[in-house]
Structure 1
Amino acid sequence: MLIGEVARYSGVSPRMLRHYDALGLVRPTGRTVGGYREYTDEDVRRIFHVESLRSLGLSLKQIGRALEDPDFTPSALIGDLIRWTEDRLARERELLERLRAVDASVPTGWQDVLRIVELMQGLNSTSAARRQQTVLARPGGTQAPAELLAGAVLAEADPNVAGALRWALARAGGDGVAALAAGTRSGDVGIRRRAVLAIAEMADAPGATALLADALGDPDPTVRGPAALALGRRGVTATVPTLVDMVVGGSNDVEAAEILGTLSQDPECADRITTALAGELAAPTADTATRIRLTQALVELPGPAVRDVLRQLAHDDDHAVARVAAAFVTAERDAGRVSRSDGRS
């Protein structure tokens, strides 16, 4: 076949076929009666081989070596191509995320685009100080897209920068909670924790309560804890087991105890909380520090049942625990005397 026929048959342009010929990659080896060079069936097969290898990303030089060198083994080159392709895809995904972030900001002019790009560059800085400054001093008053801030929140390990990002996200337009939802399902506990901490600061936003409720079932206590604190402040009694665990473990135990005290305003919940705390106090594994935290948590609760427990603890064999309980019993007794005295006067 002559070059025009081969081009129509193979889909490779005549110009590219001439280029292959000039490189010695595919040369027509046949001859017509008139002496013109023509492509044999074997030449056409070689063209298809070249095109197949090009589709894998090989350069023409690499293809020539692959077709001519009998000792050439493809494994190393294919491995390199896989790594190059993965790197290229990562760069393209990053570019796509940047373009989506710019689009989400609804820019009205190129200055808006440049401000968002500057914001992204600042958030991607290797300097924690610069990342924090970028968050706290957004350029030109441009509204940072919630999706961009959410992505930064989930990736940020520095606690100071993370706090600034959560603050900015809570005040950003758009649906920040929805942007964080995927983070609550991550296999990385650090990402789940960062997502829940950010959602907790937007607990009044649509969808936040459901995500925080799901987080109460997380296997990691550092994820459950922030969710329990946020929901407990809103009167969700399902948080009681996690809040009690926080008192036992000493993680945000003072705040957890205060919330348990508030939840105890409901008589049914008060009984449940008192029983749970008393049960932990009686646990054989509870050390002195744990029992002191539990005793202090009981002090936050109302009701005669709690007072009875504290009076018993005032005579506890552990003197440190007994002193804490006795101090409260004495303070309550003195307060009662003052109240009765005021009533007589």
Structure 2
Amino acid sequence: MPKQDGTATRVLRALASSDSSVRLRAALAVGTSPDPQLIDTLIERCAVEPDFSVREMLTWALLRHPPALTVAKLTDELRSERAQARSQALHTLSKVGDRRAWPAITRALLTDADDEVARSAWRAAVALVPAGGELEVATVLSTQLGRGGREMQLSLSRALIALGEVVMPILRAATVDLDPRVRVHAVATQRLMRDPDAGFEFAIEAAKRVVALGPDGREGMTPGVDR
């Protein structure tokens, strides 16, 4: 894609095409020939692009530009009212891996009401957390135990496990939480830490049995846990 006046306009037009293949080729072209003038265009499109493959190509195109030019613009997107803008900016920042973005990974993002934003924030936090900050992140993430369905819970478990041994006392405390969903999720995460090959479904089902038996080994101790 030639670099000349009006390029950004043409790229934006191509990225807004109703044909996803046209949008994909446009994003590929920008990444193949990076142009700092098109960074804003790429970020703006990330906020609204409906196709997953095109979004991934937009992220790749942004990664082809120097972090010094993209990180500040991406962190600005984290304040957007549009959930996809926040989610995609977090996803891209996690790929960039530049810790200058770390201060922008706030508790509000880690607990965002939108599931995709929260999941992206968890991944970004794990990728960007500076040494010594793992406990703070794990403490915030533990407030999300029991949230959502299987995919959401698996994402959180993976994030917690990636933070390392610092999460173990937090998980132990969560195993006696008043909410049975939190207890099950905590126990399942502990099991995955010990045996990563066990699989999340197996870990959840095993955790349900453990929680249902209760601390003294008798059934019926935790009403509300699906069997």
Displacement of 1:254 after TM fit? 2.8
* Equivalent in the alignment of 1:49: none
Deviation string, structure 1 residues 50-78 (Cα, Å, up to 9, x no partner): xxxxxxxxxxxxxxxxxxxxxxxxxxxxx
Q: TM-score, normalised to structure 1's length?
A: 0.47
* Equivalent in the alignment of 2:191: 299
* Equivalent in the alignment of 1:133: 25
Is the 1:231–1:239 contact (alpha carbons within 8 Å) kept by the matching residues of 2?
A: yes
Is the 2:122–2:159 contact (alpha carbons within 8 Å) kept by the matching residues of 1?
A: no
What does 1:109-148 align with in structure 2 at a 5 Å threshold?
111-113=2-4, 116-117=7-8, 118-138=10-30, 141=33, 143=35, 145-148=38-41
Displacement of 1:283 after TM fit? 2.0
Displacement of 1:159 after TM fit? 2.0
State the distance in 2 between where 1:167 and 1:124 align. Answer: 18
2:149 aligned with 1:245 = no
2:54 aligned with 1:161 = yes
* Equivalent in the alignment of 1:257: 157
Taking a change above 3 Å as real, the CA distance of residues 116 and 236 of structure 1, as seen in their structure-2 partners, is: farther
What does 1:78-117 align with in structure 2 at a 5 Å threshold?
111-113=2-4, 116-117=7-8
* Equivalent in the alignment of 1:83: none
Q: Which runs of 5+ in 1 are unaligned?
A: 1-110, 303-309, 319-345
Is the 1:149–1:169 contact (alpha carbons within 8 Å) kept by the matching residues of 2?
A: yes
Is the 2:78–2:89 contact (alpha carbons within 8 Å) kept by the matching residues of 1?
A: yes
* Equivalent in the alignment of 1:270: 168
State the distance in 1 between where 2:34 and 2:64 align. Answer: 13
Deviation string, structure 1 residues 241-271 (Cα, Å, up to 9, x no partner): 33562554234433432332343423xx421
What does 1:1-345 align with in structure 2 at a 5 Å threshold?
111-113=2-4, 116-117=7-8, 118-138=10-30, 141=33, 143=35, 145-173=38-66, 175-204=69-98, 206=100, 208-213=101-106, 215-216=109-110, 218-233=112-127, 234=129, 236-240=134-138, 241-242=140-141, 245=144, 248-249=147-148, 250-266=150-166, 269-276=167-174, 278-280=175-177, 283-284=179-180, 286=181, 291=184, 293-301=185-193, 313=210, 316=213, 317=219
Deviation string, structure 1 residues 257-309 (Cα, Å, up to 9, x no partner): 2332343423xx42122212x035x525x39xx83x5432121346xxxxxxx
Deviation string, structure 1 residues 217-241 (Cα, Å, up to 9, x no partner): 5444432321122213446333323
* Equivalent in the alignment of 1:24: none
Corresponding letter in the other structure for 1:166: T
Report the identity percentage. 18
Is the 2:74–2:93 contact (alpha carbons within 8 Å) kept by the matching residues of 1?
A: yes
Which fold has the larger relative contact order, with Cα–Cα distance below 8 Å and residues 6 or more apart in sequence?
2
Is the 1:244–1:256 contact (alpha carbons within 8 Å) kept by the matching residues of 2?
A: no
Is the 1:247–1:257 contact (alpha carbons within 8 Å) kept by the matching residues of 2?
A: no
Q: Which runs of 5+ in 2 are unaligned?
A: 195-206, 214-218, 221-227
State the distance in 1 between where 2:171 and 2:44 align. Answer: 38
Taking a change above 3 Å as real, the CA distance of residues 252 and 127 of structure 1, as seen in their structure-2 partners, is: same
Q: TM-score, normalised to structure 2's length?
A: 0.67
Corresponding letter in the other structure for 2:104: L
Taking a change above 3 Å as real, the CA distance of residues 196 and 246 of structure 1, as seen in their structure-2 partners, is: farther
Taking a change above 3 Å as real, the CA distance of residues 260 and 199 of structure 1, as seen in their structure-2 partners, is: same
State the distance in 2 between where 1:262 and 1:210 align. Answer: 19
Taking a change above 3 Å as real, the CA distance of residues 275 and 134 of structure 1, as seen in their structure-2 partners, is: same
Q: How many residues align?
A: 192
Displacement of 1:169 after TM fit? 0.8
State the distance in 1 between where 2:171 and 2:113 align. Answer: 22
Corresponding letter in the other structure for 2:7: I
Is the 2:34–2:65 contact (alpha carbons within 8 Å) kept by the matching residues of 1?
A: no
State the distance in 2 between where 1:139 and 1:232 align. Answer: 26
State the distance in 2 between where 1:147 and 1:294 align. Answer: 41
Instruction: Name the larger-Rg structure.
Output: 1
